[in-house]
Amino acid sequence: MHKGLLFLLIMIAVIIIYTIARVVSLNRLSEQQWEQADKSKLKEWDDDEWE
């Protein structure tokens, strides 16, 4: 394999791994924020409104 192609494949793998790690990290943060949210202020949706 050429050095350039190997470098390109390694960079693509690093970008994919970084992206997956970032998504997992943001998902965990989102779940923590949802648990800390004041759910008493959420609106109760009535499905009959849309009919």
> What string of H, E and C letters represents the secondary structure of the chain?
CCHHHHHHHHHHHHHHHHHHHHHHHHHHHHHHHHHHCCHHHCCCCCHHHHC
Q: Which one is predicted more confidently, 51 or 25? A: 25
Q: Is the pLDDT of residue 51 over 70?
A: no
pLDDT for residue 42: 79
pTM: 0.67
Distance CA 38, CA 27 (A): 19
- pLDDT tens for 3-47 read 999 999 999 999 999 999 999 999 999 999 999 988 887 777 776
pLDDT for residue 32: 96
pLDDT for residue 50: 62
